[in-house]
Structure 1
Amino acid sequence: MADRTPWLTIVGIGEDGFAALPPVSQAALANATLIVGATRQLALLPTLAGETQAWPVPFEAGVAHLLERRGTPVVMLASGDPFWFGAGGTLARHLPPDEWVAHPAPSTFAHAAARLGWRIEETLCLGLHAAPLTRLRPHLAPGTRAIVLLRDGAAVVATARYLDEQGFGASRLTVLEALGGARERIRSAVAAALPFDDIAHPVALAVEIAGDGRVLSRASGVADDWFAHDGQLTKRPARALTLSALAPRAGETLWDIGAGSGSIAIEWLLSHPATEAIAFERDAVRSARIRENADTLGVDRLIVVHGDALSMFADRPPPDAVFIGGGLSDALLDALFARLPPGTRLVANAVTLESEALLARCHAARGGHLLRIDLSEAAPIGTRRGWRTAYPLVQWSVTL
C-alpha cells in the first residue's frame, strides 16, 4: 500500500453507547465506509453514513472479509477495551501496526471493580467467553477474588454449578449485567444457591472464593491423585526434581516425550500462563487420559500428539526444553541432538538398567548432570512400620 494511513479503526464501545464515546471515536464512525461489530453493539449507534455489518460467528470467519476492505475507512466495534480479552489482539495479528489504530473505552473489568470497590491489581481477571470453566481450577482457593467475563446467563449458572461441584459452593457471586448502560443490573448470591434465571448479556461474574474444596498447590510436585493414570506416572517427589531441572520460564515451550499421564507437561503449564507444552504419547488410551487430565486441571492449552515422537516432531518449531519420560533410546537421543538448537534443556529419567546405562554413556560423552534418586516411604509391616523402597530413578539433565 502506498498510503500507510491507518484504514482500520478499532473502537471500544460501552453499554452507554455512541454519545459517551470520545470525539475521536465518533469521528472515525462518522467517516467510515463500513462499520462491523456484534449486533448488540451496532444497535447502540445512531444512523450513520457507512454500511453496517454484523460480525459472524465464529470470530475468525469475519477476518478475511474485513481484509478485503483494506485501504478504505473501516471501523471495528469491540466491547470496552479491545485488547483485554477483546477483538483487538486477534485483528492486530493480521495487520502491521501502521494500518490500524485503536480507541479503547473502559473495560468491563474497570466497571466491575468500580462497582465492587476491588483493586484490579489484586483481582484475577479472566475471559471465558469461549473457554472452558475448568480454567478456573488452578485459582480456586479461599480468599481469591476474580472477575470473569462469560458468554451468557447459562454460562453464569454453569459456573455456579462448577464451583459447587468443586467444593466451593459457599463462594459469593455478584452477577454484573450490561455495566455502564441503562440496563445495568447487579445482583449477588452464593454459588450453591444461585436463584437467577433471567441473566442478560453482556455479563460478568465477580467471584469471592469460599468453601472447603481442594486447593491445587502452586509448588512443583502436586499430589499424585490429581492425575488419572494407569501407573505410568512420574511420582510427586521425582516430578518436583524433574521440573526443577527443566526450569520452566514464561513464554517457553516443553516437549514431553512418552508423556504417560501428562503430569510433567501439565505442571509445566501450571507454572506460568505464558508457557506452552506438547505431550507426545504413542498409546491411544494414555493420550486420551492426558487430554482429560489437562482439561480437568485448567490447562486445556496442552497439545496432545498421539503417535511416535520421532515421526511427529520433525516439522515442529524447536522447544526450549525436552523431557523424556518414556521411549528412551539411542535413536531418540540422536534425533533430538541433531534437531535441537544450542541452549535447549533436556532431562531424561530412567528406571531400567538398560536405560540407566544409556544415560551413563550420554553423561560421559556429553556432560550435564547425572542424579540418582532413591525414595522410600513408610509402610505397614504387620503391626509395625518399615521403609518401602521404590525403584531407584536415574535422571540426566543437560543443556545442549
Structure 2
Amino acid sequence: MRIGEVSHRSGVSVRMLRHYDALGLVSPQARTATGYRDYAERDLRRILHVEALRSLGMGLADVAEVLEDADPHDPSAVLDELIERTRSRIAAEQELLGRLEHTRSRAPERWEDVLRTVALLRAVRSDDPRERQQAALSPDSTLPASALVEAALAEDETNTAGAVRWALARAAAYDDAPLALLEEALGSASVQERRRAVGLLADLPALADRPGRDAMTLLVRALVDTDAEVRSRSALALASRIGGTVDEARVGSDRAEAAVVLRDELVRMIVDGDHDVEAAEGLAGLVAAGAATISAVVDVLSQRMRDGDTSAAGRQRAVQALGELRGPRVREALSALTGDADPVVARIAAYVAGRLPPDGSELAPRCR
C-alpha cells in the first residue's frame, strides 16, 4: 500500500506517518520500484496500535517502548501511571481555572487589580500558615468568597482557620457562591471536608437567611450524613435557630420529616453522650417552637431507655433530659421511672420530678 492509501485507511496524516517512519516507530520494510514506501497489512495494524496507545495519553517514546519490548510491561502498571499523570494534569488545569474564575469574579477594572487578586490567591494557598493568615486579614483584601470557602475547607491550622472564617463572614454577606461550594463539600467523600463544611454553615450567620437555598436547607440535609459528628453539629446548629428550622419555605414538603429526623438525632446525642446537655436543651426548644410534641419526645426517650443496647449512663442521661421538659406526660414518665431497676435512674427521676412546677404551671417546656 502506498502512503496515501494507508493515511486514508488509518486516519493518520501523511505527515505523521512520515514522522513515525523517521522515529522508527512504523517503518515499512518494502519499497516500490520507484522508491516509495510500500506498507503491508502488518504495518497498518501497528499504526492502529500506535494510535490506540496515543489515545490513552501515552507519548511516542512510551508507545515505542511498549511495542518494541520483547518482555512487555504489565499493562495494568502502565495504565496506572497514565491515570496518575492524567489526574495530576487535570488537577493543575482545575487549579488554573479556579484562579481565573476567582480573579474574574472581582470584576477588575485595571491590571493592577488583577495582579493584587492573584497575589492574594497565592498567599492564601501558601505553605506558610502566617502568609495564609495575613492574606485573609488584609484590610484591602480582594479575595472572593469562593476562594475563602476553599481555603477554609482545607485549613488545618487553628489561628489561620479563624482568620479565614472572619474574612469569609465579611465576604459571604454579599456573595452567593459560598453556599454552592459548601453544598458540594457536604457531598465530599472526605469526612474532614464534610465536618468543616457543616461547621461553616453553622458558624456563619451571613449564610443563614438567604432566600431560596440557604444554610438551613443544607443543614437539614446534613442530618442524614453517615458521620456522627457531621450530624450532631448540624442538629445543634438547627436547634439553635429553631424559629426557622422547619419553615416550609426552607425545607419544602419534608417539613414534618425533617423535624422528626432532627428530634431523633438530638435524642441519639443525649443517649450517646455527644454534647448531651446542648442536645437536651435543643430538644426542649423543638417542643417550645411546636416542631415536636411533648408526647412524641417522651415516647422516643422512653423507648431508648427500654432499648437493651442503651448503656446505664445513656439511660441516666435520658432521664435527665426529661427534666428539660414540662407537662403531665413528663410527670407521668418520671413517676414510672422512680421505680426503675437501676437505682441511679430511680434517684434521678425522683429528683427531677420533685423540681417540676405545680400542675397548673407546667404547660410549657423550660428553656434556658
Taking structure 1 as the reference length, what is the TM-score of the superposition? 0.27
Q: TM-score, normalised by structure 2?
A: 0.28
Question: Which one has the largest radius of gyration?
Answer: 2
Structure with a larger share of its residues in helix: 2
- Larger RCO of the pair (alpha carbons < 8 Å, separation 6+): 1
More strand by share: 1
